């Protein structure tokens, strides 16, 4: 389930994942930051509902974790690990 190709476009602020089926998925950096599942972000969602995140966030680094990706954002947030299945569920996949 690991996509063989990743591309982080900091100008367009999108993370593209090419899955083994050849399908390409593009995820917006702001969506990814707002969808973080780290303990802190989950607690904030439980207490306050949606987290207010600047949609212009940018991914500055990506670290493979085997079962997913650790994304580092330009606001310094680096706690979330995004499992492959979760990433696949976050956005539509286009042929």
Q: What DSSP letter does each residue of 47-95 carry, written as one string?
A: HHSS----TT--EEEEEE-SSEEEEEETTS----EEEHHHHHHHS-EE-
Measure the CA–CA gap between 52 and 93, rounded to whole angstroms.
26
pLDDT tens across 50-86, in order? Answer: 788 888 999 999 999 999 999 999 999 999 999 999 9
Residue 48 has pLDDT above 90, yes or no: no
Write out the two tokens for 18: 């090419």
* Structural domains in the chain, sorted by start: 5-94 (3.30.2020.30)
Q: Which letter, b or e, does each residue of 51-80 get, where b requires 16 or more Cβ atoms within 10 Å of its Cβ?
A: eebeeebbbeeeeeeeebbebbbbeebeeb
Residue 94 has pLDDT above 70, yes or no: no
Q: What average pLDDT does range 28-41 have in this prediction?
A: 94
CB 70 within 8 A of CB 78: yes
Q: What percent of the chain stands above pLDDT 70?
A: 96
* Residue 49: per-residue pLDDT: 81
Whole-model pTM: value is 0.90
CB 61 within 8 A of CB 29: no
């Amino acid at each position: 389930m690991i996509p063989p190709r990743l591309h982080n476009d900091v100008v367009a602020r999108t993370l593209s994942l090419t899955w083994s089926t050849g399908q390409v998925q593009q995820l917006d950096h702001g969506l990814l930051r707002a969808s973080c599942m780290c303990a802190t972000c989950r607690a904030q969602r439980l207490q306050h509902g949606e987290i207010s995140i600047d949609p212009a966030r940018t991914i500055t680094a990506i670290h493979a974790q085997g079962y997913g990706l650790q994304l580092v954002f330009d606001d310094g947030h680096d706690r979330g690990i995004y499992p492959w299945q979760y990433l696949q569920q976050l956005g539509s996949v286009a042929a």
